Structure 1
Amino acid sequence: GHTAQDTIDGLRKLRSEGFSVGIQLMPGLPHETKESFQQTVMKTIELRPEFVRLYPTIVIEGTKLAEMYRSGRYTPLSLENAVDICAEAVSRFEEEGIHVIRIGLMSSPTLLQEGQVLAGPWHPSFGELVRARVYQNKIAQGLPKGLEGRRIQVRVNPKDLSLLRGHKNRGLRYLEGITGASVVSVDTDVSVEPNEIRVSLV
């Protein structure tokens, strides 16, 4: 194994030799909290890597973590919590000009074998879920107040339609959850700027 300081020293050594360096983070590790992972994100930003990968921790058969999970000593993140945590991290990194080049483990024949993934936020489109949540969080800041119980029509830039809807319309359900409104139609409008949304009552 290695310590956090070993990672920092290695990163600085590689950079001194002219290498571009990246950092891989695994939210949901044993004993980690949302707050401690946020601290890890801030420390990573201080180190200024050229890129970051985010791989939420999943429980794979035949590992020490699988033993901890079966004995009740480890509880993995739910899919929803992992999406929220990673979306916040992506926003922070990209605000600082740090590229996030991978979100979630790439699907493989091994991972897709029945019984291989025991628990945790594994999803073949995890990166898509996170990118959609980043977008949804951005537009949520500009939503009008007082929409509870109302029926609304939503218009977005054509480039943002898939981000708004999200995987299997999860994005629309998320929008309804934070506004209390019912989305009755979604339309595209080139006059709407990217990362913006227009809402009208129906």
Structure 2
Amino acid sequence: MIEIPKNFVLSSVDTPFADVELALKEPNGLIALGGELTTSRLLSAYRQGIFPWYGKSEPVLWHSPDPRMVITLERLHISKSLNKTIRSDKFEVKVNTNFERVIHHCKTIQRKNQDSTRIDNDMAHAYTEFHSQGFAHSVEVYEDSKLVDRLYGVALGQVFFGESMFSLVRDASKIAFVYLLINMPYKLVDCQVENPHLKSLGAFNIRRRVFTKLLKELL
């Protein structure tokens, strides 16, 4: 059984997060539990390199993993096949045209080797509200007017914190990330934890202390 430090419990709206360097090693990066997904709480979390990540029937769990996977334009790798797909104009990319639909798809889609999504009704509502206030954004990829890929995340300063993505068509999700890096004003995209799919695009791991230092420079 995991022993949770008392200062990890968000007992009130004013309870601050503990220093991220105190986060547990197992589960990786757990730094807090409880609290509500309010705009003020989410803003405080992201500015410190913390994000909510919990499963069905669990309380809200907050994480700041070490290492942290990120991607930058300088490290972006576009394969010959992906470049060919991009240049074919097969897909159309739009931004923020239907955020609620995007988060609904991310919430309900069945994912390979996963019993359920980590996006519950409370999270969907919170990020929809976050979007209405200009903090959360969606990047949508269409093929023949059909939404085939979507990702959403949080933008603060020059950092985009990726939250969820899913693709129905090969290469579509890569197109969304390429568009995000090339056409939007972010110097750093947070991918949270290691992902082979994003690693193939050039995403790489950095230590948490390096990540939080970058946040102070870019937010």
TM-score by length of 2: 0.25
TM-score by length of 1: 0.27
Structure having the larger proportion of residues in strand: 2
| Structure with the higher helix share, 1 or 2 | 1
Point out which structure has higher relative CO (alpha carbons under 8 A, 6+ apart). Answer: 2
